[in-house]
Amino acid sequence: MPIKRYLEDNVFAPDDIRMMSMAFEDVCRILKADGDPKAKEVIAVRIIELTRRGQRDPAKLRDRVLREAGEDGGASAPA
């Protein structure tokens, strides 16, 4: 779960970490950010912040981050 390296002192339940990882991996794949450590960090920080604010649906997290990045990536309806 590559998002774990960005969690630092944040405490999340294992299910939340799995859900964030799913969203993180999807966004990185759609935005082709695999070779860009800075982009991956920005994506991870945003997903962590949205999760901290209460969003627990990986599809909604993915769609929100893609919208904020100016991409819809063929994602589903707005979150």
Rg of the chain's alpha carbons, rounded to an integer? 11
**Side chain identity, residue 45:** V
Residue 75 lies in a domain: no
Residue 26 lies in a domain: yes
Q: Are 22 and 57 in contact (CB under 8 A)?
A: no
Phi then psi for residue 75, to 5 deg, are -70, 170
Question: Which pLDDT belongs to residue 79?
Answer: 40
| Cα dihedral across residues 60, 62, 63, 64: positive or negative | positive
Mean pLDDT by 10 residues, the chain (79 residues): 72 89 96 92 94 95 96 52
Residue 28 lies in a domain: yes
Phi then psi for residue 50, to 5 deg, are -65, -35
| Domain total in the chain | 1
Domain enclosing residue 60, as ranges: 2-68
Residue 77 lies in a domain: no
Residue 17 lies in a domain: yes
Residue 16 lies in a domain: yes
Residue 76 lies in a domain: no
